Amino acid sequence: MATNSSLIIDNIGSLITNDPALGAGPLGIITNAAVVITNGVVEAVCPSDTGADTRIDADGACVLPGFVDSHTHLVFAGDRSEEFTARMAGRPYDGGGIRVTTDATRNTPTAELDRLVRQRLLEAHHAGTTTIEIKSGYGLNVADEARSLDIASTYTPETTFLGAHLLPAEYGGRADDYIDLVCNDMLTAAAPNARWIDAFCETGAFDADQCRAVLEAGKKAGLGLRLHGNQLGTGPGVQLAVECGCASVDHCTHLTDDDIEALANSDTVATFLPAADFSTRQPYPDARRLIDAGASVAIASNCNPGSSYTTSISFCIALAVREMHMTIDEAVQAVTLGGAAALHRTDIGRLTPGSAGHATILDAPTHHHLAYRPGVPLIRQTIGPLGTLATTLGGPWERGLVERATGIQSGDPPGRDAST
Ligand code: NIG
């Protein structure tokens, strides 16, 4: 997609750079600012009124780096709203519904699965996300895991092979055989379209030895490592992630003192998924203790059909502030710089000269409103690559989403709008 040679967002009331050297406080906030983006890269952050080919008037609003959603499971078909309803009536979440989604996903033609992914990506873009990680994990056989990653890699470089999500029904009682498949044939088929490998380390999913085998095989194949850990109870996940040098261990809902110490003394990012804790009626992670101990943290949506069917990072921020006692600054940093760190990226999550020109313009004067106005759609415009999807969706409902997300009206030629 063509990028305008030069774009200025000016008249910004409050610009979050995420560089304390550029502005006030830990978020490096500059007031009355402008951002110049040239060929998709931030050229300058400066006072308003600098010239450029294309101008977006922020009209005093807050502008922040596009959200980096470092944990999603977007490649799926089917609906589990009945499971959610039963849960709200008291049935506990145990991850078993992954098999329901696996059946639906396997039975969905590729074109339809691809359309579902695009629809969710557009929803995420509309919600302010500009970089997204997408996992496989609802194929659970060689062909369908490879197919899921093939679709995901069309839309993001941050793709994760999650063959070790749950034991598929046909491998009942043969977990070690399945892990052998994951580490060999499935990995071989998945690796060309995967940057990362992940496993679900939890009672009822896979144990520490099985997950270690998956991570080691992935590492040998050249993939980066991530892990689902400590979601439904304490367990070996966090310690294993730290031992293996995972970029991130995700959930961290139930942590022991030793887990907190291990994370604080490691480079592994603890990624919180508060919308999953919300939707599964789990307690929330003790973010305060973890942050105060010195651990690096991120927050992600965990968009999936079972435990967290949302793409709203704003909602996650509100939960983290209200329920996890993070400050608003910490929460905003966790969905930008934190997500970038969890993906080992230094080019995103900030608006500084040389970084990617991915920005979110709020319908609000400050970032505080993201927590102060929960549930309100505050994303006025998202400037980043996911908007290119706008040109590929056809139905009326999808066109409506496109128009709201990008400002492109139906019929506009692709690539015309600077916001994509
Ligand atoms: O991160 N915990 C494992 N995987 C997803 C849930 C998947 C599902 O229930 O479909 C998660 O919460």
Predicted local confidence at residue 384, as pLDDT? 87
Domains in the chain with CATH codes: 6-65+350-383 (2.30.40.10), 68-342 (3.20.20.140)
**Tokens found for residue 392:** 């590929």
Query: Percentage of residues in the chain with pLDDT exceeding 90?
Result: 87
Calculate how far, in angstroms, residue 95's C-alpha sits from the geometric centre of ligand 1: 6
The more confident residue out of 389 and 187 is 187
In angstroms, the CA 14 to CA 32 distance is 6
**One-character DSSP codes across 13-42:** EEEE-S-TTTSBTTTTEEEEEEEEEETTEE
Nearest atom within ligand 1 for CA of residue 93: 9
| Residue 406 pLDDT greater than 70, yes or no | no
Predicted local confidence at residue 50, as pLDDT? 58
| Residue 267 pLDDT greater than 50, yes or no | yes
> For 43-57, 70-84, 250-264, 281-295, which range has the lowest pLDDT when averaged over its residues?
43-57
What is the residue with the minimal CA distance to atom 11 of ligand 1?
Answer: 307
Query: For the segment 355-385, what is each residue's pLDDT rounded down to a tens digit?
Result: 999 999 999 999 999 999 999 999 999 998 8
Predicted local confidence at residue 57, as pLDDT? 94
Predicted local confidence at residue 409, as pLDDT? 44
Ligand 1 contact via 200 beta carbon (within 6 Å)? yes
Ligand 1 contact via 120 beta carbon (within 6 Å)? no
Q: What is the mean pLDDT of residues 9-18?
A: 96
Calculate how far, in angstroms, residue 296's C-alpha sits from the geometric centre of ligand 1: 22
In angstroms, the CA 254 to CA 136 distance is 25
Query: For the segment 201-248, what is each residue's pLDDT rounded down to a tens digit?
Result: 999 999 999 999 999 999 999 999 999 999 999 999 999 999 999 999
Calculate how far, in angstroms, residue 167's C-alpha sits from the geometric centre of ligand 1: 13
> For the chain, how are helix, strand and coil distributed in percent, rounded to 5?
40, 20, 40
Q: What is the mean pLDDT of residues 39-65?
A: 86
* Count of Cβ atoms closer than 10 Å to residue 419 Cβ: 22
In angstroms, the CA 376 to CA 369 distance is 9
Is residue 93 within 8 A of residue 232, CB to CB? The reply is: yes
What is the residue with the minimal CA distance to atom 5 of ligand 1?
Answer: 307
Calculate how far, in angstroms, residue 63's C-alpha sits from the geometric centre of ligand 1: 32
pLDDT class for 408, splitting at 50, 70, 90? very low
For a pocket test of ligand 1, which of 70, 71, 98 has the largest count of ligand atoms closer than 8 A to its C-beta? 98
Predicted local confidence at residue 411, as pLDDT? 38
What is the residue with the minimal CA distance to atom 8 of ligand 1?
Answer: 306
* Torsion, Cα of 44, 50, 51, 56 (10° steps): 80
pLDDT class for 419, splitting at 50, 70, 90? very low
Ligand 1 contact via 304 beta carbon (within 6 Å)? yes
Q: Is 111 in a helix, a strand, or coil?
A: helix
What is the residue with the minimal CA distance to atom 12 of ligand 1?
Answer: 307
Ligand 1 contact via 95 beta carbon (within 6 Å)? yes
For a pocket test of ligand 1, which of 76, 80, 133, 165 has the largest count of ligand atoms closer than 8 A to its C-beta? 165
Asked whether the whole model's pTM tops 0.75, one would answer yes
Predicted local confidence at residue 191, as pLDDT? 98
pLDDT class for 389, splitting at 50, 70, 90? low
| Residue 297 pLDDT greater than 90, yes or no | yes
Query: For the segment 159-205, what is each residue's pLDDT rounded down to a tens digit?
Result: 999 999 999 999 999 999 999 999 999 999 999 999 999 999 999 99
Predicted local confidence at residue 398, as pLDDT? 52
**One-character DSSP codes across 58-91:** -TT-EEEEPEEE--B-----S--HHHHHHHHTTP
| Residue 399 pLDDT greater than 90, yes or no | no
Q: Average pLDDT, whole number, for the chain?
A: 92
Predicted local confidence at residue 415, as pLDDT? 28
